[in-house]
Amino acid sequence: DGGITQSPKYLFRKEGQNVTLSCEQNLNHDAMYWYRQDPGQGLRLIYYSQIVNDFQKGDIAEGYSVSREKKESFPLTVTSAQKNPTAFYLCASSTRQGGTDTQYFGPGTRLTVL
């Protein structure tokens, strides 16, 4: 898991509630990413940020929001507009040094909607 932390590990939410997932990295990486992982599927990109105060939508951004006020932090909010939020959420970060852009992942947060 390296220097990327996610909290909480497990999160339960009632329908209609917004919840925020935390992601912090101390790797001095410029880029950060949020993915969603469902059983039997590959990782799907929700949002990503290449630099502080800037972020872009990924492939499945609807019902999610992010902020990037600090280089080390990239919180993800799952809003009530997300119709099927139960999933395993993974945060990653990367650096462009060396031109490889390898993404390193945090331990994940499992969100369950009750």
Residues that bind other proteins (CB under 8 A): 1, 4, 6, 40-43, 45, 48, 58, 90, 100-108, 110
φ, ψ of residue 99 in degrees (nearest 5) = 75, 10
* Closer of 18 and 102 to other proteins (Cβ): 102
We find the least distance from the C-beta atom of residue 33 to other proteins, in angstroms, to be 8
Spatial separation of the C-alpha atoms in residues 35 and 89, rounded to whole Å: 6
We find the least distance from the C-beta atom of residue 48 to other proteins, in angstroms, to be 7
Strands 109-113 and 10-13, how do they pair?
parallel
Contact in structure between 113 and 15 (CB atoms under 8 Å): yes
Please name the residue that has the structure tokens 């799952």: 78
* Closer of 17 and 101 to other proteins (Cβ): 101
We find the least distance from the C-beta atom of residue 32 to other proteins, in angstroms, to be 13
* Closer of 80 and 88 to other proteins (Cβ): 88
* Closer of 16 and 40 to other proteins (Cβ): 40
We find the least distance from the C-beta atom of residue 98 to other proteins, in angstroms, to be 10
Question: Does residue 69 come out as left (phi exceeding 0), alpha (psi in the -120 to 50 range) or beta?
Answer: alpha
